[in-house]
Amino acid sequence: MNKDPVVAHYLLQHEHSLQQMGCLEVPSLPRPTLRNDIHRIFRLDSWMRGYGQGTERFYTRMKPALRLASLMITESCMLPWFTHLCHGKRVRVEGTHDSKGYVYLEPRRPSREGIEEVRRALRDLAEVVVFMFVPERYSEGKWKNSWGTSAVCWRKWPWSRRFRAVDYPFMSRAAVRFEGEGHGLPEIALNREFARFFDSGYEECTSSEQYRVMYMFAVTLVHELAHAFWMFIGRGGSPPGTGEEPRWHKEELRAELGYSWETITMGRIVEPVLGVYGMLKRPCALVSLRTEAWAAGQPEPRAVRALIDTVSMRMKKVENWRGVFFGRPVDGGRGTEWFVGTSMSSKHKNCVSVIHAIPLRWIAQWFSECEWRNRREVWRAHRLIHGCNIAEGRPYDPPGLGPTFMMVHLRLANKEPQLWVSSIVQDDPNIDWERMATKAVSVYDGF
């Protein structure tokens, strides 16, 4: 959960606006309308049984989220992110005295066959991957703050000795073969909070609360699958799946494939904020937070420039807020380090943090069959008229949030830090950021 005092403090002060913008409680939300099959990878058999599990008790309640997660790993418009993992050329950048070396994936021309290959690999992964919830006894401390963890650890979680052999999903002969062929066999452990919600919290929650948790659950599952997929395809060194992850594209500041997938696909990294830091505590809203940093004297990133130009015209400046916030970059959120690099070193004198409250209608549209039909049509149209300029030639863009509550924290070298809020602007610089990233990798070309 986001623990940044400025985020929680100012969002709490604007509870009324959040409610008005449909970010807290929306009384008449449509029910999820997804009817697609649940991918084999999420079938009940893939989930551990026994110690601290009991998934069969609440599996039915997980289904809307599992349907959404399934679409995220089967729809054509969702898969180019994965094809780049299979086909991108590994390029190693050597470290210098003040930076560590790293690997990134250089684009190669994607192809329609690449999408089929990803589908096949995900079906194969379904034969071996194991899902579980962190057992209640281990749910504090280290395991409390992690939404999910993936590892090729093969029965080496701190609680693994509590499982019996029969608690594990059935492994086919294929699974044994996969290991011999250099694939990593990943296991995924999910935050206990999800199991609590589906087991006993679900019934007493409003539909807004249910949507928020189901969205977080679906995204966490595929975030972890992004890691697991990399481990499984065996491009990550030896023993299989244990080597370092690459940066999905060159401009990423850290290798974290889960966050890369979230930003490219959803356009943002989302997390709950407000109240006590439990995702079921009220009031609660989902927010996305993105911080960009750049060295003083360097030109600011294009999306940041556009944002700074807009801010002073359309947003309200918050005065006298320094007592709460000490001029550091907004901190503590999911993905902050991924956005700004390993450390906010002194050369990064400029930074901007953009915080959006997430409207329920945006969350609900992910669970709407109709929205997915639209996505399919845009993708198909792009394939048919390939080369023509339809919708800027882009077969997929993350959906924008529409008007919502937004805060911008600006900290420019040698200037007083500034905080701006607005509940009317529609600006969504994240979409622009993602356009640049996907264009750089030509990930949607060639289909």
Nearer to Zn ion, 119 or 254 (CB): 254
Q: What is the closest distance, in whole angstroms, from the C-beta atom of residue 213 to Zn ion in the complex?
A: 19
Give the shortest CB-338-to-Zn ion separation in angstroms: 9
Q: By C-beta, is 230 or 433 nearer to Zn ion?
A: 230
In the complex, minimum distance from the CB of residue 376 to Zn ion, in angstroms, rounded to a whole number: 28
Could you give the C-alpha distances from 353 to 49, 323, 408, in angstroms and in order? 42, 18, 6
- Rounded to a whole number of angstroms, the minimum distance from the CB of residue 257 to Zn ion is 7
Which 243-262 positions form the footprint of Zn ion (CB under 5 A)?
258
H or E element at residue 273: strand 270-273
Identify which of residues 220 and 418 has a Cβ nearer to Zn ion in the complex: 220
Residue number, nearest CB to Zn ion: 258
First to last CA, the chain: 38
Residue type, 83: T
Contacts of 153 by beta carbon, 8 Å cutoff, 6+ apart: 187
Residue number, 124 or 224, with CB nearest to Zn ion = 224
Binding mask 256-295 for Zn ion (x = CB under 5 A): --x-------------------------------------
CA proximity to 71, closest of 286, 376, 362: 376
> Is the bond into 239 cis (omega within 30 degrees of 0)?
yes
Which residue intervals of 163-282 are DSSP H helices?
A: 173-180, 192-196, 207-233, 257-266
**Could you please report the per-residue DSSP string of 393-431?**
G-S--PPP--S--EEEEEE-TTS--EEEEESS----HHH
| Identity of the residue, 41 or 231, whose beta carbon is nearer to Zn ion in the bound complex | 231
Q: How far is the CB of 258 from Zn ion (least distance, A)?
A: 3
- What is the footprint of Zn ion within residues 140-169 (CB under 5 A)? none
Size of the site for Zn ion (CB under 5 A): 1
CA distances, 197 to each of 57, 191, 206, 209, 296 (Å): 12, 11, 12, 10, 46
As measured in angstroms, the least distance from the Cβ of 3 to Zn ion is 18
Residue 153 or residue 390: which is nearer to Zn ion going by CB?
Answer: 153
Binding site for Zn ion (CB under 5 A): 258
